[in-house]
Structure 1
């Protein structure tokens, strides 16, 4: 008989990246917080983010300009009020990070002292000004390590590493009055048993779902868990058809998932065909600094037209010391693989990178389910529209985590701790002897999503994808009902649910806009609206 374990806390935060850590640190002054991390605390998209965080720090820049650039990148589907709110609150969020100890790069003075120097601001695709604060080319690592050190040292934050959230527990599921989240079932990966967490509030900070695609820049934990759990709990989702494919992921057999930051192009890198010729000026007047959807489609087009395995990113025309100083991580990693970026071209391909849609929230991160919040990439706030502007992702995590913390703080004294919750029942399941089924379904799902629901789509491809998805859902649900849970099974169950949501949203959008390009509907509609799905 396995031990029954129940945890209790004011707030359960599922996810340990920039959004989850920021929320935890803001709430822990007044509340007890449990922070759940599926893998090691640092293993999330935040840690691997290279470029930086967008915020107006330069006197020649304006909040209105940041708003305008975001709206242009979002291709007519951003919520302007949300974009304005985010841009207006960006500087305060960044100053909090700086107070926490994140060391963003500064301009060098003639004396070499950077103490009181202004911050070095870089520019990325879609931005009209230099407004990207960064820590060399490893900004996410600097943010993640700084915040997690503070969280681990805080007496009111309990960190549970290597725990998968399985499902949310709601009053409706327990046939109780109202519709409120009461906690969650979580799987202890080390002990291999399911535990229960009771909480007044639950926040999803689980990141996106790019692992649904065969090629992705994301770490392995990005399996759409929060989106799938919220959907099963009755929350609406929106704009799931808009999955951003980062144009430049390193193409190398020994470097899966290694991203090449957009800041390379911001500092003058060119995209070249295998014969050395540039091609981006033929696709957009902004050339390499065009928004990501345009650059990714251009690369995809050139690769298919030429039958090429990749194209090349070239910054070798810049001084070597400049390249090494600004991109030390990329320089070192490529050098390990035999590529000297100061002299060689870098082979690149597009890869699934960012989920622009997600669980619908208000300006405080509150979802349709009382007490449940969603912040960061898991959420649909209206900020990104049909395409995310570079370096607005970590910014969204910070701004909305602060907003959610304020909203939760204002309610803490009014909400009672939920009573005892039912424990997980696994009396009717057994250990699996067919792990090959999971491996096979996993491969099939990611392959047909890449082929049929990737950078370029068609009505027929989407119909095929939906049929394949329905078959997989049935197989996976039968498997889930009969066998004990495992990490791969839980992720596969969530990914196939998210795949269905992506496909259904894509089928509803009868136009091509931003990250969604359908060859059967190449034009834009005159009055675009978000694609919203409501659970039955």
Structure 2
């Protein structure tokens, strides 16, 4: 089996980006590495919002682009955004051809929802607030039925390199270590939310793709930009249940315990950009006041029908959103930064591509516009597949790997990142983060890899001496006149931490 797969493209991650890449590669043979059975793991099944696409009669690509650029706070790559967003209508059609069942009205038209910072109703949903689950269901079924896709259940532990190029992947499986020989490797491994105590991401989403790419020498971009969703259900559960932005799109309000609207005088109010709403909620919480989502008047008894997944999470916590105030808090939700890639998804390492949340395409800028991420996963998964398809496999000579690294443990880094690289940051806290993460990052597994991701995030955040989008510096509250995307490598971050001062990072 292993010899038969030699030289085939290998995709790590079976969320929407990974599944899309594998399916769009058909009929070319491909190996899909997944941590768990298809559909049973990752952030994709948890996605409630939907897919943003300009399919409405009152909408077009230009309007969608304008909203995306505004939310990105000057840091979007406009050309990348234009390319990805313009593919929205075709992406919806392609997903339907793959078996996705989107919500439609009685006349057969797509039901379109409204989310924060969108100027039009353009959010395409499936099963109400179960869009991610439905996409993963349909794409997983299509992948199982696709004869060109070979599934390998296991955990990627190391990218194998030879003369500066990818030549294989070391995977931990139930049967032990396994080497997959390839010169075409795709990372589709999700985000970094599990580096935070309060997150909507699953426990395995601590930035494994970033760690693997950084160790292989790849350049990373915009790591300082972490989006905190303002309305996670405040419970002891981990991950925190998400309360979709679409709930506010249907009129729900954010209030304190006395019923006062905390966003009443903020432009956009409850539908202001996520970073604005998250900081407003965070200020109330740090002042010792509880914050709630109030959907009693706007949705009431319709809540469970319109948002069945959110309603189920509330019921599990003993809350009825039709009649009760719902306690909320910000939670790490999405990473705008990641592996620096070009328009084809190629990283700076020959033979290494990235798609989905672990990739930094430039679409999201400093602050992701709601529901653009699922669109990006589908479109960029397709773009990576198109770039890889037909490339000669070449001959990969795999060096003898060292012992299989143990599974990573994010807990030591999580305590540091949660406290010091959160909703708001300052130089003192970021310097402390570098100091505390460095011995972990330079130490032995299992703590080293997650600590390295946190270290690169802290170094990038310390170097950005401004507040922009999701990156809020209390010691630099103003936005710089010139917007620059950040770039960093693992050696640069380690050097920065050893110096414990603002490093000489490259900006472009």
TM-score w.r.t. the length of structure 1 is: 0.88
Distance 2:309 2:296 in 1: 16
- Residue of 429, 453, 457 corresponding to 1:498: 453
Please state if 1:446 is matched with 2:405. no
2:325 to 341, 345, 349: 345
Task: Return the offset for 1:6.
Answer: 9.6
Alpha-carbon deviations, 1:10-34, whole Å to 9, x = none?
11000000000000011121x2111
CA distance in structure 2 between the partners assigned to 1:535 and 1:15 by the alignment: 22
Task: Name the residue aligned to 1:121.
Answer: 112
Offset of residue 333 of structure 1: 2.7
Alignment check: 8 A CA contact 1:473 1:497 kept:
yes
Distance in 1, Cα, partners of 2:395 & 2:328 = 51
1:37 matched residue in structure 2: 34
Partner of residue 194 from structure 2, selected from 208, 211, 216: 211
Aligned pair in 2 of structure 1 residues 52, 75: CA closer, same or farther (>3 Å)?
Answer: same
Counterpart of 2:505 in structure 1 is none
Change (3 A) 1:325 1:165: same
Residue in 2 that maps onto 1:418 = 396
Q: What does 1:88-127 align with in structure 2 at a 5 Å threshold?
A: 88-109=86-107, 117-127=108-118
Partners of 2:237 and 2:475 lie apart in 1 by 37
Q: Which 4+ residue blocks in structure 1 deviate beyond 4 angstroms?
A: 4-7
User: For 1:297-336, what aligned pairs fall within 5 Å after superposition?
Assistant: 297-305=279-287, 307-308=288-289, 310-336=290-316
Unaligned runs of at least 5 residues, structure 2: 492-508
Mapped contact 1:236–1:368 kept (Cα < 8 A): yes
Alpha carbons 1:195, 1:424 under 8 Å: kept? no
The structure that has the greater radius of gyration is: 1
Tell me the CA shift for residue 323 of structure 1.
1.9
Q: How many Å separate the matches in 2 of 1:422 and 1:5?
A: 16
Question: TM-score when scaled to structure 2?
Answer: 0.92
**Which of 414, 424, 442 is the equivalent residue of 1:456?**
424
> Is 1:286 aligned to 2:263, yes or no?
no
- Alpha-carbon shift at residue 40 of structure 1 (Å): 3.3
Where does the alignment leave 5 or more consecutive residues of structure 1 unmatched? 110-116, 173-178, 481-488
The residue aligned with 2:136 is 144
Q: Report the 3-state secondary structure (helix = DSSP H, G, I; strand = E; otherwise coil) of the residue aligned with 1:143.
A: helix
Deviates further, 127-136 or 245-254: 245-254
Rounded Cα–Cα distance in structure 2 between residues aligned with 1:93 and 1:63:
13
Query: What displacement does 1:221 show?
Result: 1.8
1:529 to 476, 479, 484: 484
- Select which of 436, 440, 443 maps to 1:472: 440
1:486 corresponding residue in structure 2: none
SS in 2 for 1:10: coil
Aligned counterpart for 2:73 among listed residues 72, 75, 79: 75
1:183-224 per-residue CA deviation (whole Å, 9 max, x = no partner) reads: 111111x23x22100013110000111111111100112121
Q: Distance between the aligned counterparts of 2:399 and 2:483, measured in 1?
A: 44
Partner of 1:176: none
Distance change (3 Å), C-alpha of 1:9 and 1:159 = farther
Which secondary structure state, in structure 2, belongs to the residue aligned with residue 323 of structure 1? helix
2:252·2:299 contact (CA, 8 Å) conserved in 1? no
